[in-house]
A = this chain, B = another copy of it.
Amino acid sequence: MFIRLGYDIEFEIPAPVAMVAMLSVHPSRVPDLRAPDEMEIDPAVPLTGYTDVFGNRCTRFVAPQGTLRLSNTTLIEDSGIPDAVSPNAREHPVGELPNDTLIYLLNSRYCEVDRLSNIATELFGATPPGWGRVQAVCDWVNAKVMFGYQHARPFRTALDVFTDRVGVCRDYQHLAIAFCRALNIPARYATGYLGDIGVPLTPPMDFSAWFEVYLDNQWWIFDARNNTPRIGRALIATGRDASDVAITTSFGAANLTRFAVVAEEVDASAATFPPI
């Protein structure tokens, strides 16, 4: 299956401002790209790429005053297989976890593991460990939180989600992540493209968030918002929470004026295969 990925984002920039974009497909998916994945920037300014401590591809630049447009279209090949489900995947005792997963047990800006620890134990401590416990977390969050774009709020933390019970996709994942970490299951935030392949939904208007947990020697995808296996996720970045993997971060004023994201299946015959 081939999926066309693209975005078209515009800002009005009142004064020159440094920005970082996470708009490249994640290194783990680069082998699947079937077209170049290079951000176009207008006006053209020098771009610098680098990899952050979480392994994500970042692009930084200084946006000049005026209208700034970031856009791209690329093509990715996808297995067409829904997110894996592995009910017998076991939970590792912390002592067995790989070193590099331990950071995903700790607190982060939007995931107050410390303050949600007792609550997580009360809610999920009696659930048998492993895949089912993570699924129980997702089921709980999915059932208790009411989705609404009007509920988007930049500073909402996992604890706020727990009390307020409203939010957008990032809020669902933050609460689920905090619960998993409180249960000693490494969990990290993921952002990327998620089209409507195989689901009767309206087209996506935004990038999507999900999360990953480490069970049985690997990272697995969970999604407390959709809470059902999906086809065609194209990962951009993972990190501790949304603070680490903002699509764009501007170190000064930058007013978003246009935002369009596309992730749609395309016909294999129509797909072009430029060398990359």
A residues engaging B (CB < 8 A)? 17-18, 20, 48, 50, 52-54, 58, 60-62, 93-95, 97, 99-100, 102-103, 105-112, 114-116, 118-119, 144, 150, 153-155, 159, 162-165, 184, 243-244, 249, 251-252
Which of A52, A61, A115, A163 is most buried by chain B, counting CB atoms within 10 A of its CB? A163
Q: Which residues from chain B contact A94 at a C-beta distance below 8 Å?
A: 17-18, 251-252
Closest B residue to A112 using CB positions: B109
- Say yes or no: A103 contacts B52, CB within 8 Å: yes
- Given the interface pairs A62-B95, A99-B50, A118-B144, the reply to whether A106 lies near B163 with Cβ below 8 Å is no
Closest B residue to A49 using CB positions: B99
- Given the interface pairs A53-B103, A103-B52, the reply to whether A159 lies near B163 with Cβ below 8 Å is yes
Given A18-B97, A53-B103, A61-B95, 5 extra CB contacts under 8 A: A52-B102, A52-B103, A62-B95, A106-B109, A108-B243
How many angstroms from the CA of A75 to the CA of B54 in the assembled complex? 34
- Say yes or no: A107 contacts B243, CB within 8 Å: yes
Closest B residue to A165 using CB positions: B118
How many angstroms from the CA of A64 to the CA of B150 in the assembled complex? 29
A63 nearest CB across to chain B (Å): 9
Closest B residue to A48 using CB positions: B99
How many angstroms from the CA of A162 to the CA of B106 in the assembled complex? 21
- Say yes or no: A99 contacts B163, CB within 8 Å: no
Q: Which residues from chain B contact A20 at a C-beta distance below 8 Å?
A: 102
Q: Which residues from chain B contact A102 at a C-beta distance below 8 Å?
A: 20, 52, 58, 60
How many angstroms from the CA of A106 to the CA of B240 in the assembled complex? 12
- Say yes or no: A150 contacts B150, CB within 8 Å: yes
Closest B residue to A106 using CB positions: B243
A-B contact pairs, 29 of them (CB 8 A): A17-B94, A18-B95, A18-B97, A20-B102, A50-B99, A52-B102, A53-B100, A60-B95, A60-B102, A62-B95, A94-B251, A103-B244, A106-B243, A106-B244, A106-B249, A107-B110, A107-B243, A108-B109, A108-B243, A109-B109, A109-B111, A115-B164, A116-B163, A118-B163, A119-B162, A150-B150, A153-B153, A184-B251, A184-B252
How many angstroms from the CA of A17 to the CA of B184 in the assembled complex? 11
- Say yes or no: B251 contacts A105, CB within 8 Å: yes
